[in-house]
Structures are given as C-alpha cells and as structure tokens.
Amino acid sequence: MDYIDYYKVLDVTKSATEADIKKAYRKLARKYHPDLNPNDKEAEKKFKEINEANEVLSNPENRKKYDKYGKDWKHADEFEKAGYDPDQQQYSRQQSNGGQGFSGFEGGDFSGSDFSGSDFSDFFNSMYGGGRSRSQSKYRGQDFNAELELDLKAAYTTHKQNLTVNGKNIRITIPAGVENGQIIKIPNHGGPGVNGGPNGDLYITFLIANNSDFKREGNNLYTEASLDLYTAILGGETYINTFDGKVKIKVPAETQPGTKIKLKGKGFPVYKKENEFGDLYITYSIKIPTKLSDKEKELFEELAKLRNHEK
C-alpha cells in the first residue's frame, strides 16, 4: 500500500489551520457528494478520499500522529509501543527485553489486519487501527440554490409565496423590502442528510423586475412629476403618485424645471424593520402649453414686453 498525502487530497498546506481544513473539506465534500454525482464511481472514490483525509487532519491527535511518522507510517504502531520518537531518532522508554532497542521493522506491513466493514484505505487502517465506516458517518445534506422573480410592487409588501424546489412544495414568507440580487437562507430545506446527518439549507436569490415609474436605490425611490406652466409660475397644488396611493402637495410659485423635492417616509420599506421606510425624491419638469389661441399668444407677448421693459 502507498503513503497517502492527506494535505494534497484536501488541497491545503501542512501549516493549514483547523478552520482552513474545515473550509476545504466542506467545499470538496459538496462538490463530490454522491447526491450530486449519482452513479459516478470516480466522484464516489474522491468523496471517500476527502472524508478519510478529513478524518485524520480534523482530529488533533490523528493529525499529530500522521505528521509525526510521515514516511515511517508503516511502523507507527510499533514506534508507539516502543516509545520511539522518529524526530529525535531515539527511544523514550526501554523495552522489556533487557533494554535492547526494538528491531525487525523491515516488512512490518499491517495491511492484512482485519477491520471488517471499514470504508477507509489500508493506509488509514494501518495508521489508526481501522476507521469508521462511511455507513456510520453522518454528513450534512447538500445546499440548494434557487432564483425567485418578483416585480417591484410585490417586493413592497410582506407576503407569502409557494415554491417548488427539487420536487417539493414549500411556503415561505417574503419580507417587504427585499432587494434585487439579495440572497436569503431557508434552513433545513436543502438536500437530506446522509446517515441521519442534518439537512442542507435552501438559498434563494431574488430577481426584482421594475415595471413601475420609480427608480429604486436602496430604500429610496426616485421619480419625475410634470407641472403645468401656470402652476409652476403662480404656485398651487398637484398630486403625486406613490406606492401607497396619491398624495397632494403644495407647489411654490416660480418653481423651476429640474427642481427636486423629498417626501419623507414615502420610499421603499426597510428590510425586516417594521414601519420604517426610505424617502421619495421627485424631480419636476414643466409642461409647455401647445396649440395656443390667438388671445393666449397675445397675452404671452404682453408678458414678454413687460419683462423686457423691466430689464
């Protein structure tokens, strides 16, 4: 049997931390999980190798023994019994045979040891005296990913919606204020765990389509409103459309094109913060009248003369 480089199997360095090993294992285990690779013998083999490597490197004692004996792995059990330290190349304690050093290591291959039911390699079994069977190991289920399309009006209110994910129907509550591209996690709605392990999670990415007259930036909304020339010049009132109906606002006299106003609290709901809203920003445009009557033209000409006289 050959020596197995567990660090290479998990694609980590020998200086990898426990967190590094955990992250690498999860990434590879998901990639080669049997549920995602049905009837794929190579993926199944790789999955076993990954779990074996994790069984060693994630366990401080197993990793210490693995790092300590390295190429001398075949004689690990004999070294342990003899108290031999391969780093110091000396014995830490004497043998019962008159203090003589242990000998006869050549050919000390324990691949014939009987570890019935083991799903780990001979190398692992020789190092650790047999591993846990895969059928006894618990693995977390695969995470699922899904996309959900909503229009902006639907995202404005909290509502429930039915989804079909991997053949199963689930009903979820979508909080008001969800944003385009936002991902939310639905715990335990992913793939089933292996051998009693926990289920994976469901991650939903929201795709918000905007078919309204509003532009959304975060929790704020932006829109334009048209004023007739006379209201812009003389002042008055106008009605503005918002998501929750029309509102009447006052227009100051001599309002200029491009003037911006803010309606506080008339923007988009803040995600998962009840009764909190962004603001609505309105930019005015001025509608110039067309098809003027002769009398209207005459009056505008008089106004122009007055303005020029004042200058």
Rounded Cα distance between 205 and 184, Å, is 7
Q: Where are the domains of the chain?
A: 6-136, 144-209, 215-310
- Is a pLDDT exceeding 70 seen at residue 229? yes
* Highest mean pLDDT pick, 49-63, 66-80, 120-134: 49-63
Q: Are strands 159-165 and 168-174 parallel, antiparallel or unpaired?
A: antiparallel
Which is more confidently placed, 51 or 261? 261
Superfamily designation of domain 144-209:
Urease metallochaperone UreE, N-terminal domain (2.60.260.20)
CATH of domain 6-136: 1.10.287.110
Rounded Cα distance between 292 and 297, Å, is 6
pLDDT > 90: percent of the chain: 46
Equal fold, 144-209 vs 215-310: yes
In this prediction, residues 240-267 reach a mean pLDDT of: 94
Q: Are strands 245-251 and 236-242 parallel, antiparallel or unpaired?
A: antiparallel
pTM of the full structure: 0.55
In this prediction, residues 166-173 reach a mean pLDDT of: 87
pLDDT band at 154 (very low <50, low <70, confident <90, very high): very high
Which residues are 171's β-sheet partners? 162
Q: What is the mean pLDDT of the chain?
A: 80
Architecture of the domain spanning 215-310:
Sandwich (2.60)
**What's the pLDDT score for residue 105?**
25
- Is a pLDDT exceeding 90 seen at residue 140? no
